Chains A and B, each alone.
Chain A
C-alpha cells in the first residue's frame, strides 16, 4: 500500500480554481465556479448548502470519482487534474467513503462487508485483517452483530457498519455524503460522534456534505456553497 505522507503543514485536499460542467454543447450546465478550498490534516470540514449548490459534485471530484477538467485539485499529494483514469482508481483506495445509503453487499455479513476492503490492500495479512475488522466493529458497538446479514440490522447499525468499512484500512481521508440523512436523530448523532472519535484517533481528516443542522457542532470548519460558489464560514 503506497500511503502518501501527510505532513502537518501540507493540506490533504487543495482545490484551486476548479470549474465543472455537466453535459455537452447546448445542454452544458456549469455547476462549480472557481472553487478554491482546502482541508488540513486532522480537520473536520463540513460542506453545506441548498440542493443544487454543487457540494456533492465537489465531493465526487475530491473522491477521484470524476475527472477534473478545469482547475487544479490535489488530494493526498496527487494532482487529480493530471492523472489517468487508472490512477484515479488507485487514489480511491486511500479514501474512506461513507454514503447516504449504506450500500452494504446483501449477501455478505457485516464482518465480511468490512473485511472485503482488504481485497484492495493485499499486503495486509489475513490474520491482521480479521483482527482489525473485529476491533473496529467492536468500537462502533456491533461486537455481537458481526455475523449478521444487513437485512437483519437496523438503519443505524448498517450505517455504523459502513463507518467501520470506511475506516478499517486506515485511509488518509474520509469523505461522507449526508451520512445521517436516512437516520433518526439519535442514531445520526451516534454515527457522527463515532466518526469524529475515530477520525481524531487516527488523525484522519473528514470532508462531509450535510444538510443536517443538528450535527454542525462537530466541525472545525464549515464551507457553505451556493450556486456552485464557495462562501466560507467559521
Chain B
C-alpha cells in the first residue's frame, strides 16, 4: 500500500518533468518552424532584424549585387507580414501570417507548392495553410467541396484557391502563401522595392560559411548574411531571451522533481522509522551501516523504476492531448526520456540517502 503511494509520487514527478520539458521544447521548436523550413543555403536579412517574425526590411537591389559572385546559383525573395483575416462565417477578424514567396522556387520546404505555382501567379489568388487553427472557419472543408473561397484580408478581397499543410506556431494562428506580386497588392503601404528575407542557393562543393563571408563584403553594413543554421540558432536565441520559456518550464520541472522527492522521502522515512527494531536487530547481528544503506537505496531504485514507466506513458498521452488542443506538435525525444530517467534515479537515491540517516541512530543494544 505504502509502496503504491510512493510509486504514485514518482509517477507524478516523472510526468510533470517530462511534460514541462516537452512543452518547452515544443514551444521552442514551433517558434522556429518557419526558419527550419528555409532550404536556401544562405539567408540575407536587414541588420535591424531580430526575428523574422518582426523583420525589418531592406532594399531589394542589395540582393542583385550578389549575382556577381560565381558561387551564387540562385537568388530568391521572401516577404512576411501580418494581416487580419475576416472569418466569412461569423464575420470576426483574426490575425494571420502572410508569406510572399516565389511559388516556382520558394527555397522553402513547402511540399506540393509547385502544383499551385501557376494558379498563384493570378491576381489575388492565395494558398491557405490547411493546419491553421479553426478560428478562421471550416475553410478546408469548404475548399474541398467548392474549390475556391472568397475572403477578406486587410479589407481586401482575395480568393483562396487551395490548401497546403505547413503548420502553425505560437506566433501565428494561420498562414497564407502568395506570390510576391500579390503580396505587394496586399500591403500597398510598404516601401516598394523592400524585402524581408533574401534567399540564396550556392553551387555544390563550396562551403556555406565561405560564401557567406564573401557576400558579406558585397553588402557591408546594409544587410547581414547568415547560413541557414545561423538563422535557426538566432531565432532560438531570440525566443529564449524574450519569452521566459526556460524559466517557466524549468521551474515546472523542478517542482515535479521536488514533489517526487518529498513523497518518496516521506514514505521511506516512515518505513525506516517503523522498522527501527528490525534494523537495530540487523545491526546487532553484525550487518554494517553500509549494508543497510544499500538495502534502502535499492528499495528506492525499485521505486523509481516502478514509477517511471507509468509516468512516461502518461506523459505521452499528455503530449497527444496538447498537440490536438493547441494544434502544435509536442513529442518525446530519446534524450529527454533518458535525462528524466536519470533525474528520477537521483531523486529517489537522494531521498533514500537522507531517510537512511535515521537508521544510523538505531542502537543495537536497545533491542534488548
A interface residues (Cβ-Cβ under 8 A, vs B): 56, 59-60, 63, 65-66, 89-93, 95, 97, 99-101, 103-106, 117, 119-120, 177
Contact with B285, one of A56, A66, A97 (Cβ below 8 angstroms): A97
Point out the residues of chain A lying under 8 angstroms from B287, CB to CB: 119-120
Point out the residues of chain B lying under 8 angstroms from A93, CB to CB: 285-286
Contact with A105, one of B278, B364, B367 (Cβ below 8 angstroms): B278
**Majority SS at the chain A contact face:** mixed
A92 to B288, CA, bound (A): 10
Point out the residues of chain A lying under 8 angstroms from B117, CB to CB: none
Point out the residues of chain A lying under 8 angstroms from B288, CB to CB: 89
Is B108's beta carbon under 8 Å from chain A?
A: no
Q: Are B278 and A60 in contact (CB under 8 A)?
A: no
Closest B-chain residue to A63, C-beta based?
B284
A177 to B281, CA, bound (A): 13
A101 to B280, CA, bound (A): 12
Instruction: Give A4 Cβ to nearest chain B Cβ, in Å.
Output: 14
Number of cross-chain contacts by CB at 8 Å:
49
Q: Tell whether A60 pairs with B285 under 8 Å between CB atoms, given A103-B278, A105-B278, A106-B278.
A: no
Point out the residues of chain A lying under 8 angstroms from B368, CB to CB: 56, 59-60, 65, 99-100, 177
Closest A-chain residue to B367, C-beta based?
A99
Q: Are A103 and B281 in contact (CB under 8 A)?
A: yes
A-B contacts, 11 of them at CB < 8 A, read A63-B284, A89-B288, A92-B286, A99-B281, A99-B284, A99-B367, A99-B368, A100-B368, A103-B277, A106-B275, A120-B286
A65 to B287, CA, bound (A): 12
The 6 closest A-B pairs by CB, nearest first: A93-B286, A92-B286, A103-B281, A65-B365, A60-B365, A65-B364
Q: Tell whether A117 pairs with B278 under 8 Å between CB atoms, given A65-B364, A103-B367.
A: no
Instruction: Give B329 Cβ to nearest chain A Cβ, in Å.
Output: 45
Instruction: Give B200 Cβ to nearest chain A Cβ, in Å.
Output: 69
Point out the residues of chain A lying under 8 angstroms from B367, CB to CB: 99, 101, 103
Point out the residues of chain B lying under 8 angstroms from A66, CB to CB: 365
Is B291's beta carbon under 8 Å from chain A?
A: yes
A153 to B146, CA, bound (A): 80
Instruction: Give A73 Cβ to nearest chain B Cβ, in Å.
Output: 14
Q: Are B285 and A92 in contact (CB under 8 A)?
A: yes
Q: Are B281 and A90 in contact (CB under 8 A)?
A: no
Q: Are A101 and B285 in contact (CB under 8 A)?
A: no
Q: Are B291 and A119 in contact (CB under 8 A)?
A: yes
A47 to B128, CA, bound (A): 96
Closest B-chain residue to A99, C-beta based?
B367
